[in-house]
Structures are given as C-alpha cells and as structure tokens.
Structure 1
Amino acid sequence: MTEFTPFLSALGGALIGLSAVLLMAVHGRIAGVTGILGGLLPPKIAGDWAWRAAFLAGMICGPLGYALITGGMPRIDVPVSVPMFLIGGFIVGIGVSYGSGCTSGHGVCGMARVSPRSIVATLTFMATTTVTVFLVRHVFGL
C-alpha cells in the first residue's frame, strides 16, 4: 500500500502542469517526455537540443533538489521483480510508439487541450492499466 498524500500529490501535479504550460508558452512545444527524449538523440531540428536537454536534466535533478531540502532521497518502492519491471517497460515502449506519444504528452498536455486523440489515448492507457493490474495481481498472483 502507499501513503495517502493529497497535499504533496496536488503540489506535484501543479508543478507538472506549470512546467507543461511554461514549455508551451516559451517554446511552443508539448511536454511529452518521450517526444522530448526522441528529439534529443540525434537532434531533429537545429538549435532544439538545449531546451530538450535542460528539460530532461530538470527531471533527473528533481530528486537531488528534494534531497537537499529534506536531507534524504525520496523512497521509491517497486512492488514487482526486475524481470517484470523490464517487461513492463518494453510494453510501455511499444505502446508509446503505436500511441504516438506517452502519458505525459497525451494525459497532461493533450487532455488540457481537449484533443480527441489524446482523450481516447488516455482512456486506453487507463483501461489497459486497470486490466493489467487486475490480471497480474489477482489472476496470475505475481
């Protein structure tokens, strides 16, 4: 089980939303992490590398800032084995390719823009997640 942390969750959501709005306002780009990473190596547009690298560095350095403020790294519990974690990552990678984006691009930015494609994609992510968790935890007992 996880802790119920409504204040921290709301703060985290607000920061994600703020970063998405700022990226759109400053660069006119959608904050889809997969697309940002995909355009980084190799850069598809000249001069596009710096903001992509800064965005990803900010995501990586976030926990370090948390550690400086609180004195410890955030605790992350992954309730599955390493092989299951890798298989899940592989499946997500396939979904990102076929879905033309990831949960951050569709779920945060696309839903905010009321994009029909993103609404369908997000509903598909959520339904698939629900079925997968039910099967893995209650049918297969993994």
Structure 2
Amino acid sequence: MTTVSKTLSFIFSQKGKPLLMMNNFLSKLNKTTNTKKYYRCENPQCTMTLRTDINDVLIRTKDHHNHPPEPEQIEVRKLKHVIKERAKNETTPKPKIYDEETARFCLTSLAIAIVPSQREISTRILYIR
C-alpha cells in the first residue's frame, strides 16, 4: 500500500479566488455548506473531487486524476500572484518587480519556458494599479 501525502495548501487564481493545492494538483471550490467545502479538479475533463470541513481539513477524496500533475504551472501561478501583490502594494517600477521576483523564485527549466514575458505581465499589472 502506498502512502499519499495529504498536505493541503492554497494559492490564488487569476481572479483572486483560492485554489486548493494537493500533491501538485489544483482544485477549485465548487460548493460550500455550513459544515463542508466541496472542491473539483481545475481540469474540466477530470472527475476528481474532494471534500474538506469548514476549517480546510481533508475529509474525503473521490476518484483519481485522469491527467498528470503540472507542478510547473503551479510555480508560475505563485510567481504571478507575488508579482501582482507587489505591484498592488508598492510603487516600484513593474520591470524591476518582474526581474526581482523571477530571479528570487528559482524556477525549473520547464517553468521558465512557460513564464509570461515581462511585457505580458506588465499589461495585466496596469489593471491592478
């Protein structure tokens, strides 16, 4: 029997909504009741669902993911979120924030390949400031 890590953490979507991260897979909040939260895999074709209590303690998972994990996508999302937060809270020029954060993040070579360019990020930051 294999032991699977059930470490839950959260990152944010482009729209600022929390995404549950477990074992390099992302799940979005589907429904909330008084006692439970229901999550679905972010991939629309995947049938994986999971349930937590209101304090985000894992209760149950259903099915398995039908796609491989994408840890590089998660790294890039974290980077984008940090850049957006800094742009929102600081007056530092956008190119400087981008350069500092991409240097600080220690991205894998696959993640570097999918990181948006400084120009693409700058246009998104315009709407934040």
Q: Same fold (TM over 0.5)?
A: no
Bigger relative contact order, structure 1 or 2 (CA pairs below 8 A, ≥6 apart)? 1
Which structure has greater helix proportion?
Answer: 1
TM-score under structure 1 length normalisation: 0.27
Which structure has greater strand proportion?
Answer: 2
